[in-house]
Amino acid sequence: MTMHRPDMNYAAEQDRDDELAAFRDGFHIPKRENLGDEIYLCGNSLGLQPKTVREFIEQELAEWELLGVRGHFAARRPWMPYHEFLTEKTAELVGAKPSEVVNMNSLTANLHFMMVSFYRPTPQRYKVLIESPAFPSDRYAAESQVRFHGFDPTDALLEIGPRDGETVIRDEDLYALIEKEGGSIALILLPGVQYYSGQVFDMAEVTRLGQRKGCIVGFDLAHATGNLVMNLHEWNVDFAAWCNYKYMNAGPGAVAGCFVHERHHAEDLPRFAGWWGHDKSTRFRMGPEFHPIQSAEGWQLSNPPILALAPILASLEIFHAAGMQRLRAKSERLTSYLEFLLRERLPDAIDIITPSEPSRRGCQLSLRVTSAAGIQGRKVFETLENNGVTCDWREPDVIRVAPVPLYNNFTDVYGFVEELAVALGARG
């Protein structure tokens, strides 16, 4: 285990020795008035803009300007197969086969389209297992699917939460619930990383236990993609979906990603169909019968939005160059350092509700200001904002802080804790 020191020189030393340090220069970092770079620790909500994004978008604007409709075939990156330029690096990022991934739609839309195919309730097996508190959009989606199939969410929506007085869900409680209720569960829909607490779920084990009981298992990877090393194919996950605007740095409201395990590609599944999911060899014959592509692409509806895919392609090239294994190793060191400084400097004022074990968390630490601090957490958060620190607030009482390995460094982490101490009135 790394032995940290609570001084600025240590942070500077770590930054000098960081083999990924150069990647920071590839991002636009917001500025603080007269103070240089802002301390931006909010990549769990919106990642910073890669400097290459403008070039990627302007390339397509130029192609459109010069070629018009011919850009579908004659552009440097032809628009007709443009989404395929993202495929291999997307698969690499989430541990999938290229045929198992596609970038399309938005996150909640993809979850709905997946549930059309994979939530197939029967009178005996109709429940959907989610966590509590789930991100509201996930809960709304699951509840609306349950209602659409004619079930009562008070019965069909099965929620697993932390025990009273605790902040994270115990693995043993989750596994016991799957064992007990598995025969009635049609779908397990959990996050890879819980948005509020930052808890990481053991996706391989959840998948194994759920499928052993006959359940379909899917994951919302909004806080996991670009954050964790994953092996969705080997874990045998049925489906997954994620957004690309958090750790993936593809811009606000970016086109989302989707995974469908290859064993489902040839199944005759119910789905909402569109022409871009149709067999490519016959798509332009304009026939009335839908023949899905035998891959995750078969769930596409419309032709891809090229200008919106360009930032994802730029981001994927950065991730490919950095390597997810190296990013994860740096992430563990950064988050460990943040935890160390908080416990060293502010042990009575700050509670960390995220697990301490590296395997049970990603970049994010979720913090609560204690009653002993004598100040409300919201006020502390607002002071941080006013002093050029960007993190985020989640009701009712959590400050989320995420040192992202692509563009954050140890100096950022040290500076954040300094500013937090000031906001708490507890410097020194």
| Percentage, residues of the chain above pLDDT 90 | 97
2 falls within a domain: no
- Residue 171 CB burial class (10 angstroms; 0-12, 13-18, ≥19): middle
258 and 395 in a single domain? The answer is: no
Q: Does residue 152 lie in a domain region?
A: yes
Report whether pLDDT(361) > 60: yes
Average pLDDT (265-282) is: 96
Check whether 294 has a pLDDT greater than 50.
yes
Contact 241, 257 (CB under 8 A): yes
Average pLDDT rounded to a whole number, residues 276-284: 95
pLDDT of residue 413: 98
Q: For residues 200 and 270, state if they share a domain.
A: yes
Q: Output the pLDDT for position 2.
A: 60
The pLDDT of residue 336 is above 50: yes
Q: Residue 345 belongs to what domain range?
A: 8-37+323-424
> Is the same domain home to 171 and 278?
yes
Helix or strand (DSSP H, E) at 128: strand 127-131
Q: What is the mean pLDDT of residues 249-264?
A: 98
- What is the CATH classification number for the domain harbouring 250? 3.40.640.10
pLDDT for the residue 35 = 72
Mean pLDDT of the chain: 97
Predicted confidence at residue 108, as pLDDT, reads: 98
Are residues 196 and 96 part of one domain? yes
Give the distance from CA 75 to its chain's centroid. 31
Residue percentage of the chain with pLDDT more than 70: 99
Question: 259 and 388 share a domain?
Answer: no
**Residue 202, domain member (yes or no):** yes
Same domain, 283 and 328: no
Boundary-marking domain end, from 272, 304, 336:
304
Among 276, 304, 332, which residue terminates a domain?
304
What pLDDT, in 10s, does the model give residues 44-55? Answer: 999 999 999 999
Indicate whether 51 belongs to any domain. Answer: no
Same domain? For 150 and 212 the reply is: yes
**In the predicted structure, residue 426 carries a pLDDT above the cut 70:** no
* Mean pLDDT to the nearest integer, 33-44: 91
Which pLDDT tens digit goes with each residue over 154-208? 999 999 999 999 999 999 999 999 999 999 999 999 999 999 999 999 999 999 9
What is the H or E stretch that residue 393 is in? Answer: strand 392-394
My answer on whether 400 and 268 are in the same domain is no
Confidence of residue 427 (pLDDT cuts 50, 70, 90): very low
pLDDT interval class at 216 (50, 70, 90): very high
Indicate whether 68 pLDDT > 80: yes
263 is a domain residue: yes
pLDDT of residue 321 exceeding 80: yes
Task: Kindly report, residue by residue over 139-164, the tens digit of the pLDDT.
Answer: 999 999 999 999 999 999 999 999 99
Instruction: Look at residue 199 and tell me if it is in a domain.
Output: yes
Same-domain pairing of 230 and 373 = no
**369, 377 in Cβ contact below 8 A?**
yes
Cα distances (angstroms) measured from residue 159 to each of 111, 119, 174, 181? 18, 16, 10, 11
Position 276 pLDDT exceeds 80? yes
Question: What are the residue ranges of helices labelled H in 182-268?
Answer: 203-212, 232-235
Q: 56 lies in a domain?
A: no
pLDDT at residue 34 greater than cutoff 90: no
Q: How many domains does the chain have?
A: 2
Query: Same domain for 276 and 328?
Result: no
Answer whether residue 169 is part of any domain.
yes
Q: Which of 169, 130, 131 lies closest to 353 in space, CA to CA?
A: 169
In a shared domain, residues 281 and 367: no
Q: In the structure encoding, which two tokens stand for residue 192, read together?
A: 């890879």
Domain of residue 398, CATH code? 3.90.1150.10
**Do 228 and 329 belong to one domain?**
no
Question: Does residue 115 carry a pLDDT above 80?
Answer: yes
pLDDT band at 231 (very low <50, low <70, confident <90, very high): very high
User: Comparing C-alpha atoms, which of 87, 129, 121, 124 is closest to residue 104?
Assistant: 87
pTM above 0.85, yes or no: yes
Q: Is 80 exceeded by the pLDDT of residue 387?
A: yes
Residue 428 has pLDDT above 70, yes or no: no
pLDDT at position 1 is 46
Give the pLDDT score at 380.
97
Band (pLDDT 50/70/90 cuts) for residue 88 is very high
Q: What local confidence, expressed as pLDDT, does residue 351 receive?
A: 98
Domain-terminating residue out of 247, 274, 304: 304
State how far the Cα of 422 lies from the Cα of 344, in Å rounded to an integer: 15
